[in-house]
Structure 1
Amino acid sequence: QAPYQQHYPVSPAQRRMYILNQLGQANTSYNVPAVLLLEGEVDKDRLENAIQQLINRHEILRTSFDMIDGEVVQTVHKNVSFQLEAAKGREEDAEEMIKAFIQPFELNRAPLVRSKLVQLEEERHLLLIDMHHIITDGSSTGILIGDLAKIYQGADLELPQIHYKDFAVWHKEHADHQKDEAYWLDTFKGELPILDLPADFERPAERSFAGERVMFGLDKQITDQIKSLLAETDTTMYMFLLAAFNVLLSKYASQDDIIVGSPTAGRTHPDLQGVPGMFVNTVAVRTAPAEDKTFAQFLEEVKTASLQAFEHQSYPLEELIEKLPLTRDTSRSPLFSVMFNMQNMEIPSLRLGDLKI
């Protein structure tokens, strides 16, 4: 635990989010919304009280952010009051209501979480929850929803011993950055490749966040073949999919030096498993999918590269980007243009009393 201070340092990930927010680039890109459909009898007061207790329990939900003497700091507030908004609506308007609910946050005003209960029918409600990414991440969603369910059911939870600000202070004082930094600077020495995927139109001068989602599945036969390959090569599904993705990029771009960003959970210390907050870091994995290699050879290289990247994952991506001689380009992200993310965090199946969710 960190000794009491009026303000605490932020983690590198929080600093990045704060600065993007100040530059106006963030708008709602870093909001983390969730929508739960509740079927059954909802007790609004009990739900509001449970969310208030959740905020009392986890300091990060009572934290705000400011710039003091040129440094971004976080302040943990002793008491933060919470109101659960209530409204009525029609199911066919749900999409519009959700869009209207997601609004930018002011980072200097806690709590950076808001919630609304929309009644669609007598026993059918939508619970809308929105949080800023500066206080949460994918793994935190599971922790918070699990705690909310237990509190709603009246369980007695032990108070957490460690909070996010303790991690931020520890990370600043104790992380072994020198060994990690040496590894990353060595990985990205020499000329750095810029992925050039052929497109049927000009790349815009400013990055746009407009996009499309394509969904597809793999059939059982291919999945079984992949699983037996993993067993033979002692690799994981993550390594296999990352290798296949790199081969695809290499074929499209006709390049054999590829850098792909990949998010990591960032919870490298066992004490952090149950702590909500923004722990995610991004590692950059550099591989060489040259056409004279067999896939098995390349998979082995990806295995080594990913194991090493995860071993050195505590080194903040922001610091690496500052240290590298990168040409700034408003149309691209620095260091890599594509990301590969494998979502495998546990989101607990939910019960809130007798409610079906």
Structure 2
Amino acid sequence: MAETRLPLTPGQHMLDFLESIRPGGAAEAFNISFRLAVDGPLDRGRLFDAVVRGIERHEALRTGVVRGRGMAEQVIGSASEPEMTVLPVAPEAWDVAEDTLVEHNNAPFDLAHPPLVRVLLLENAPDERRLLQVTVHHSVADAWSLEVLKHDVGRFYRAAAGLEPEPAPLDVHYRQIVRDELAALESPAAEEARAFWPEYIGSLEVLQIAGAEAGQALTSRSDRGLTSSESAAVQGLAGKLRATPFMVLAAAYGCLLGHLGGCEAYLMPTFSHGRRDPRYHQTVAMLFNPFLIGFRWTPRMAFAELVAAFKRSCLSAYRFQWYPFIEVLEVCPDLSVALIDPHSALFPVQMLNVPKASAGPTLFGPDCVATDYALHRTSTGNVLPIDGLLTIKGTREAMAMTFNAAQRLWNDELAAALCASVVQLCLDAACDPDLSLGKLVDRRLPADLWSI
């Protein structure tokens, strides 16, 4: 199979820029994984064959990033045999298996040598108990892709046992998606974004707050949920303000964070996923583009005014979903410094708009039970926020993402305290949306709680 060489997409430009500055240093942030706990008689050989078939199916997983002719480009090749590791785990050591998963995930890839995929299978064979981790580099896949790959591996595994037909050929291959994304950069919408960008940047500053800890931290999405009454209050407030629950929480979070950082106007970087075309939904690819949300608040503003302004900024920011990252660096050079410094962070609104489906009891056939396995520890640092903002509807998901964003800036105790303050601020505002932010913030940030 002949190689196909293509330019990088905007999101890939960003990752390549970070990798060029700190070779291998971004592995902890840009290696992404899906993990499954599997109970039952899993056929290891058939599983590994299914992974290979998944790589053969998706061109992105056979793509490397190489430097040549003065700039990086991506090359689609034919290599489909990933690194596969099997490690036995004794029953008494099962509880510390997470350390092995983290180490395996965080090891760097050589981006020039695809497939940028590796597999780790931890197994307690006598008890038919296993942990499966499939790690992919973010330059060729995104969070949406992990769901696609997981279910394709299951379909190939079941098809090999005669339980169902093999997956049908893809409607759109990766190379066409790349070409479509690059063509979008020359569209009228992209030209409009470029014209709008300098005015939008204005005099806003990039907010950076030093991280209190650069070690391990909890990232479970269930660390801070909302009670049913809290959720109802936030949803009711969002409906009253004609916003989504996530906008309400994010606006409150931005206000509190800005207060702590001593900044009333700053930029929030965020990203838009590239699954606008439903034909892309079954394809593995790295599809997101960086853009910024301008955030402004003053103590005199009412909470209702804050949410209204935040909503307008969100809608404006979506005009940048085709804006090339390399041009973002040119108009906002401080952005690059914050993104590559593991001891500081931009305001990291975590927005994950991925259709998450349970692995289900039949992923590997009727005799195996596969369930999604979430790590409770990962490395903090320059993990970047991703995906859509305006489509977040659920308050539970929004609060979990707010917690994850907060703990990327601080340790768990402070992140939990900040998120509790966010919730209480929203509950206060639900009673009186016209209450000033100054009064709300003073209520929720007692001086003896914070030492940032």
Fold equivalence (TM over 0.5): yes
Match of 1:16 in 2: 14
Alignment of 1:84-123 (within 5 A): 84-90=84-90, 91-102=94-105, 103-122=107-126, 123=128
- 2:18 and 2:346 map into 1 onto residues whose CA distance is 18
Match of 1:200 in 2: none
TM-score, with length taken from structure 1: 0.87
What's the offset of the Cα at 1:329? 5.2
- 1:232 and 1:221 map into 2 onto residues whose CA distance is 16
* Count, aligned residues: 344
What's the offset of the Cα at 1:184? 2.1
CA offsets 1:219-251 (integer angstroms, 9 cap, x no match): 221110111122222211221122111111232
Alignment of 1:77-156 (within 5 A): 77-82=77-82, 84-90=84-90, 91-102=94-105, 103-122=107-126, 123-154=128-159, 155-156=165-166
What's the offset of the Cα at 1:327? 9.1
Unaligned runs of 5+ in 1: 198-202
Relative to structure 1, the CA distance from residue 328 to residue 292 in structure 2 (aligned partners, 3 Å threshold; closer, same or farther) is same
2:350 to 319, 341, 349: 341
Does the aligned pair in 2 maintain the 1:261–1:283 contact within 8 Å? Answer: yes
Relative to structure 1, the CA distance from residue 52 to residue 327 in structure 2 (aligned partners, 3 Å threshold; closer, same or farther) is closer
- 2:326 and 2:213 map into 1 onto residues whose CA distance is 21
SS at structure 2 position matched to 1:162: coil
Does the aligned pair in 2 maintain the 1:185–1:324 contact within 8 Å? Answer: no
- 2:82 and 2:130 map into 1 onto residues whose CA distance is 20
- 1:115 and 1:104 map into 2 onto residues whose CA distance is 14
Give the aligned residue type for 1:309: A
SS at structure 1 position matched to 2:51: helix
SS at structure 1 position matched to 2:139: helix
Relative to structure 1, the CA distance from residue 16 to residue 282 in structure 2 (aligned partners, 3 Å threshold; closer, same or farther) is closer
CA offsets 1:27-72 (integer angstroms, 9 cap, x no match): 4331113321110111011111111111111111111121111121
Relative to structure 1, the CA distance from residue 213 to residue 284 in structure 2 (aligned partners, 3 Å threshold; closer, same or farther) is farther
SS at structure 2 position matched to 1:7: strand
What's the offset of the Cα at 1:294? 1.1
- 2:98 and 2:18 map into 1 onto residues whose CA distance is 27
Relative to structure 1, the CA distance from residue 233 to residue 99 in structure 2 (aligned partners, 3 Å threshold; closer, same or farther) is closer
Relative to structure 1, the CA distance from residue 160 to residue 209 in structure 2 (aligned partners, 3 Å threshold; closer, same or farther) is farther
What's the offset of the Cα at 1:342? 2.6
Unaligned runs of 5+ in 2: 160-164, 371-452
Does the aligned pair in 2 maintain the 1:162–1:275 contact within 8 Å? Answer: yes
Does the aligned pair in 2 maintain the 1:9–1:74 contact within 8 Å? Answer: yes
Match of 1:312 in 2: 320
Alignment of 1:212-227 (within 5 A): 212-213=217-218, 215-227=223-235
Q: Greater shift after overlay, 265-274 or 288-297?
A: 265-274
Does the aligned pair in 2 maintain the 1:250–1:256 contact within 8 Å? Answer: yes
Does the aligned pair in 2 maintain the 1:11–1:168 contact within 8 Å? Answer: yes
Match of 1:298 in 2: 306
Relative to structure 1, the CA distance from residue 317 to residue 67 in structure 2 (aligned partners, 3 Å threshold; closer, same or farther) is closer
Match of 2:197 in 1: 184
Q: Does 1:166 align with 2:176?
A: yes
Whichever structure has more helix as a proportion of its residues is 2
- 1:53 and 1:187 map into 2 onto residues whose CA distance is 46
What's the offset of the Cα at 1:209? 5.1
Give the aligned residue type for 1:7: R
Does the aligned pair in 1 maintain the 2:79–2:115 contact within 8 Å? Answer: no
Relative to structure 1, the CA distance from residue 209 to residue 135 in structure 2 (aligned partners, 3 Å threshold; closer, same or farther) is farther
CA offsets 1:196-237 (integer angstroms, 9 cap, x no match): 65xxxxx59xx9854644732222211101111222222112
Give the aligned residue type for 1:343: L
Match of 1:237 in 2: 245
TM-score, with length taken from structure 2: 0.70
Relative to structure 1, the CA distance from residue 13 to residue 343 in structure 2 (aligned partners, 3 Å threshold; closer, same or farther) is closer
- 1:168 and 1:37 map into 2 onto residues whose CA distance is 34
Give the aligned residue type for 1:96: D
- 1:6 and 1:149 map into 2 onto residues whose CA distance is 28
Match of 1:356 in 2: 369
Give the aligned residue type for 1:119: E
- 2:118 and 2:340 map into 1 onto residues whose CA distance is 32
What's the offset of the Cα at 1:332? 7.5
CA offsets 1:103-133 (integer angstroms, 9 cap, x no match): 1100111110010222124210111211111
Does the aligned pair in 2 maintain the 1:141–1:347 contact within 8 Å? Answer: no
Alignment of 1:251-270 (within 5 A): 251-270=259-278
Does the aligned pair in 2 maintain the 1:263–1:341 contact within 8 Å? Answer: no
